[in-house]
Amino acid sequence: MAHRSAGVGRTVTGGNRASRLGANLAPVLEIQGLEKTYRSRRRGVRRALDGFDMVVEEGQIHGFLGPNGSGKTTTLRTLLGLIKADGGRMMIFGEEVPAALPRVIRRIGAIVESPQFFPHFSAYDTLSLLADAGGVPQRRVMEVLELVGLAQRARDRVKSYSLGMKQRLAVASALLKEPKLLILDEPANGLDPGGIREMRNLLRDLADSGMTVVLSSHILAEVQLICDSVTIISKGRRVTAGPVAEVVARHSGTGLRVRLEAAADLPLAADVLTQAGAKVTVHSDHLMVDSVEKPAWVTRTLAARNLYVSELTPVTADLESVFLELTETMPVPGQHRQVDQSVVVGDATAGRWGE
Amino acid sequence: MSLYKAELRRLGKRRVTRLTTLLGLLVLLGIAVGTFFSNQKIGPEEIAAAAREAEQAYQGTVDSILEERRRCEEARRTGVDAEQYPQDCSAIAPPTRESFPTEWYLPSTFEFRAEFESVLAGWALILALVAFVIGASFVGAEWSSGGMSNLLVWRPQRIQVLLTKLGALLTGLLGLTVLTGVAWFAAFWLIATLRGSTAGMTSGAWQSFILTGLRGVVLALVAGVVGFALASLGRNTALALGAAVAASIIGYVGVGVVLTIAEVQFVEAWQFTTYLDAWLQKKITLVDWNYCAQAVGECEPPEKDIVWQHSGVLLGAVVLITLGAALWFMRRRDVA
């Protein structure tokens, strides 16, 4: 985005992130046992949220992840009072919503799903009307348009905007109130690579300034890069939550890719390692070995049985593989996964904070 | 107050508001201009010319009738084509001079007292149509564009948001109807002055026109509210317009056909257009002409009066039902 405030555009150091993570902060947002069931004559009964829990602490950038149809948008809409929950409890800034929403909404900026604006209004008019409706000073309109890089196109009709520009406008509308909690549903949708990086920097700066950000996105590499913590939802239930590094470590761990000089020896090698206490997965041309403290142990154990390693590579799991594993949405060659085909977790309390 | 101000601004900025208003104003302007050019002031010259024309018409008719009587007598005498004429040719008698009054031959002139009532009803119906479209679009487009969802994220008080929008709409429509109403009175007073007559305008006549005008304003506001409520219920402008078209067809043609087949007395009493007429004309008298169809001798057909109070109750009920339903659903339904 064209304009950068003091910190925008620089790379946020690990120190900033660490300070956000290290502080023992109060939850800004808490959801407990949220339930929502849709009933339709045509489509029958569908449980969109099935006892969903989520906690977001102050000053963090919190990733909210889940496959399509998992309940992310329903959660955010319920949180913002657009959808009525069938059960559960939601708190924002320590106040129960939706009852307290009129009181706390002034401190919340949000975009939910794809941005939709009146096509014949200009960006300036759109934000100016929202500012009037929310009692926000009109000077904020140009400030936020400047911040998201739309200042020079402010008077153009929204219908002439690209998807990325509409996305920027949506973010601008969410920032208009100078919120303490920013809820963004797919903010990078439609942005070009430069725009994604600018969005990342903007969000980091906002978090550094004390704003709490809840970010729903499918760009998992981006989430891993930017978020302090994550909640993953599947079929309306939380499948895991916690600081990003912990989630990745907890659910995938790190493994070793082992290749042998003779691929025919792979089954034998797998037996040897398994008997020695490792967790082994056999692939066509290599083994994946987990639960090993030192890579050298693999080399020694196999060499003792005259099996010689040609490659020993530590494989670090990323958020994407954790996500695919937890939601069981890993693509399978030759199969076409349907939208609702993701995992249902039996224990809704799995992966609570601090576990 | 800030939301009300924002909604009033939004209403004014909307393209549908501007285009529909412009279209309505153009139609009103067309009626005024057409009335101006199709009427003219009556003076001694016009009266003399009309008298001459009436006399010519009278003479022409007398001549042709006398010629016809002559042919009749000729036919009686010769027997050729005798069956085409009456037995007594003196039955073919020329009309009296009084049958050709001079007034019939006067050019069209706009008499304010006699004609403004119907012109005022035209203004009210056009404004009601404009108000319905603006009302429906004001909230319907907000729903279909996602604007309502955005707004509710800013102001999570659904009923307050909907009623504030309605308040802004009614303010705008009230301004539009009052301004055009005043302009309508002024324009036709001017037309009557230049192309007709303003004679006979007593305080009672003025009072009657002003009350009709006020009922016209109320009709436009009711149309705006109903359009708004229907579009809010269907969350779409097109749904409100479709409902209006369907209601018009069913409420007029459908009801008319079914009740006529069922031989119900005073079919018009079940058609909503009768109540629109009664609202604007103060009273409509329905006559059951079928009653005397089989009668022998003198027959007085029964009559039924529909007065503006009946229409008021109906309009009030429509507003209560549609707006009540819109508010109820706004409170209950999810904003998907």
pLDDT tens-place string over residues B294-329 = 777 788 888 999 999 999 999 999 999 999 999 999
Same domain, A296 and A167: no
Q: Do residues A232 and A259 both lie within one domain? A: no
Domain boundary among A214, A234, A249: A249
The helix/strand/coil state of B30 is helix
Check residues A153 and B147 and name the one with the higher pLDDT: A153
pLDDT, tens digit, 9 for 90 and up, residues B133-172: 999 999 999 898 888 888 898 889 999 999 999 999 999 9
Query: Same structural domain for residues B9 and B82?
Result: no
In 3D space, the residue among A71, A72, A52 whose CA is nearest the CA of residue A63 turns out to be A72
Q: State the smallest CA–CA distance between residue B240 and chain A in angstroms.
A: 19
Which residue has tokens 């102001």?
Answer: B155
B64 touches chain A (CB under 8 A): no
Which of A86, A96, A130 is the best substitution to test chain B (most B C-beta atoms within 10 A)? A130
Cβ within 8 Å, pair A80-B155: no
Last residue of a domain, one of B105, B132, B154: B105
Tokens linked to A146: 């400047």
Whether residues B184 and B252 share a domain: the answer is yes
Give the whole-angstrom CA distance, residue B179 versus residue A338: 59
* Domain shared by A56 and A90, yes or no: yes
Q: Give residue B289's pLDDT.
A: 82
Give how many domains chain A has, as a whole number.
Answer: 2
- Is position A131 within any domain? yes
Cα three-residue angle A286-A290-A291, rounded to 5 degrees: 155
Closest CA to B288 of B324, B313, B260: B260
Q: Is B116 exposed, middle or buried (0-12, 13-18, 19+ CB in 10 A)?
A: buried
With a cut of 60, say whether residue A267 has pLDDT above it.
yes
CB-nearest partner of A121 from B2, B13, B146? B13
Contact assignment for B335 to A82 by CB distance below 8 Å: yes
In this structure, the answer to whether residues A166 and A308 fall within a common structural domain is: no
Q: Please indicate, yes or no, whether residues B58 and B160 belong to a single structural domain of this protein.
A: no
CATH number at residue A87: 3.40.50.300
CA neighbor of A273 nearest in space, from A290, A261, A259? A290
Beta A87-92 vs A95-97: how paired, if at all? Answer: antiparallel
Q: Is the pLDDT of residue A348 over 50?
A: no
Residue A294 lies in a domain: yes
Residue A41's pLDDT is 81
Give me the helix-helix angle, B203-234 and B237-248, nearest 10°.
120
Eight-state DSSP code of residue A107: G
Q: Is residue A82 part of a domain?
A: yes
pLDDT band for A24, please (50, 70, 90 cuts).
Answer: low
Token representation of residue A109 = 């900026």
CA pair distance B299, A186, nearest whole angstrom: 79
Chain A residue with the nearest C-alpha to that of B165:
A133
Does residue A152 sit in the same domain as residue A260?
no
Residue range of the domain that includes A90: 14-249
Domain count, chain B: 2
Residue B326: give the domain boundaries: 2-39+110-332
A346 part of a folded domain: no
Cβ pair A271, A109 in contact under 8 A: no
A137 in B contact zone (CB under 8 Å): no
Beta-strand pair A237-243/A287-290: unpaired
Instruction: Specify the amino acid at residue B121.
Output: A
Q: Do B212 and B282 contact (CB within 8 A), yes or no?
A: yes
Task: Give the angle subtended at the CA of A36 by the CAs of A33 and A39, to the nearest 5°.
Answer: 155
- CB A230, CB A247: distance < 8 Å: yes
Q: Are A8 and A201 in contact (CB under 8 A)?
A: yes
Q: To the nearest whole angstrom, how far is the Cα of A131 from the nearest Cα of chain B?
A: 8
Kindly state whether residue A337 falls inside one of the protein's structural domains: no
Per-chain mean pLDDT for chain A: 81
Answer positive or negative: Cα dihedral of B27, B29, B33, B35.
positive
The DSSP result for B97-146, as a single string, is: GGGS-GGGGSPP-EEHHHHHHHHHHHHHHHHHHHHHHHHHHHHHHHHHHT
Cα–Cα distance, A345 to A238 (Å, whole number): 8
A278 and A135 in a common domain:
no
Whether A307 maps to a domain, the answer reads yes
Q: Please indicate, yes or no, whether the overall pTM of this predicted structure exceeds 0.90.
A: no
Note the pLDDT of residue A332: 60
Q: How confident is the model at residue A350 (pLDDT cuts 50, 70, 90)?
A: very low
* Average confidence score pLDDT of chain B: 92
Mark yes or no for CB contact B3/A129 under 8 Å. no
Q: Provide the pLDDT for residue A291.
A: 73
Check whether residue B191 and residue B212 sit in a common domain. Answer: yes
Lowest mean pLDDT among A86-95, A337-346, B306-315: A337-346
Same domain, B85 and B18: no
For the record, the structure tokens of B193 come out as 């002055």
**Do B196 and B134 have their domain in common?**
yes
Q: Which residues, other chains included, contact A286 with Cβ-Cβ below 8 Å and sequence gap of 6+?
A: A257, A258, A259, A266, A311
- Examine the domain organization and report whether B99 and B201 are in the same domain: no
Give the contacts of A196 (CB within 8 A, at least 6 positions apart). Answer: A188, A219, A222
pLDDT band at residue A63 under the 50/70/90 scheme:
very high
Q: What are phi and psi of B246, to 5 degrees?
A: -60, -45
Encoded tokens for B88? 């007594």
Measured distance between the N- and C-terminal CA atoms of chain A, rounded to whole angstroms: 39
Q: Which tens digits make up the pLDDT trace of B38-50?
A: 999 988 998 999 9
In this structure, are A208 and A294 located in the same domain? no
Answer with the one of B76, B105, B134 that is the final residue of a domain. B105
Say whether B2 and A82 touch across the interface (CB within 8 A): no
Same domain, B195 and B118: yes
Judgement on whether residues B166 and B231 belong to the same structural domain of the protein: yes
> In this predicted model, what pLDDT tens digit does every residue of B246-281 receive, in sequence order?
988 888 888 888 888 888 888 889 888 899 999 999
Sort out which chain A residues have CB atoms less than 8 A from B235's CB and list them: none
> Are A60 and A210 spatial neighbours (Cβ–Cβ below 8 Å)?
no
- pLDDT per position as a tens digit, A289-335: 877 778 889 999 999 998 999 998 877 777 777 777 777 766 665 66
Q: What pLDDT, on the 0 to 100 scale, is given for residue B282?
A: 92
- CB-neighbour burial class of residue B159 (10 A; exposed 0-12, middle 13-18, buried 19+): exposed
β-bridge mates for residue A242, sequence order: A230
CA distances A99 to A90, A189, A192, Å, are 10, 31, 39
**Within 13 A of A34's CA, how many CA atoms are on the CB side?**
31
Which residue of B6, B153, B336 is in closest CB contact with A110? Answer: B153
Which residue of A82, A102, A130 is in closest CB contact with B334?
A82
> Do B16 and B156 belong together in one domain?
yes
The domain that holds A267 is classified in CATH as 3.30.70.100
Same domain, A62 and A194: yes
Shared domain check, A286 and A140 = no
Question: Are A149 and A228 in the same domain?
Answer: yes
Question: Is A35 part of a structural domain of the chain?
Answer: yes
Tell me which chain A residues have a C-beta less than 8 angstroms from the C-beta of B6: 129-130, 132-133
At residue A117, does pLDDT exceed 90?
no
Beta strands (DSSP E) in chain B are 110-111, 196-197, 283-287, 303-307
Pairwise CB contact (< 8 Å): B10 & A129 = yes
> Phi and psi for B178 in degrees, rounded to 5?
-65, -45
pLDDT of amino acid A290: 79
Which residues are CB-neighbours of A191 under 8 A, at least 6 positions away? Answer: A164, A167, A168, A199
Is residue A344 a part of any domain in this protein? no
Q: What percent of chain B has pLDDT over 70?
A: 99
Shortest Cα–Cα distance, B3 to chain A (Å): 4
- Based on the fold, state whether residues A107 and A188 are members of the same structural domain: yes
Q: Are residues B179 and B227 part of one domain?
A: yes
Q: Is the dihedral of CA A19, A22, A24, A27 positive or negative?
A: positive
CA dihedral for B182, B183, B184, B187, sign (positive or negative): positive
Contact of B5 with chain A, judged by CB distance below 8 Å, is answered with: yes
Same domain, A261 and A245: no
- Residues in chain A within 8 Å Cβ distance of B13: 121, 125, 129
**Closest to B193 (Cα-Cα) out of B74, B95, B113:** B113
Among the candidates A214, A230, A249, a domain finishes at A249
Query: Can you spell out the DSSP letters for A155-171?
Result: TSBGGG--HHHHHHHHH
Interface test with B, best of A39, A103, A118 (most B CBs within 10 A): A118
Q: Are residues B98 and B188 in the same domain?
A: no
Cis peptide before A137 (omega within 30 of 0): no
Q: Last residue of a domain, which of B53, B79, B105?
A: B105
Q: CA–CA separation, A148 vs A142, rounded Å?
A: 10
Q: Which chain A residues touch B152 with a CB distance below 8 Å?
A: 80-82
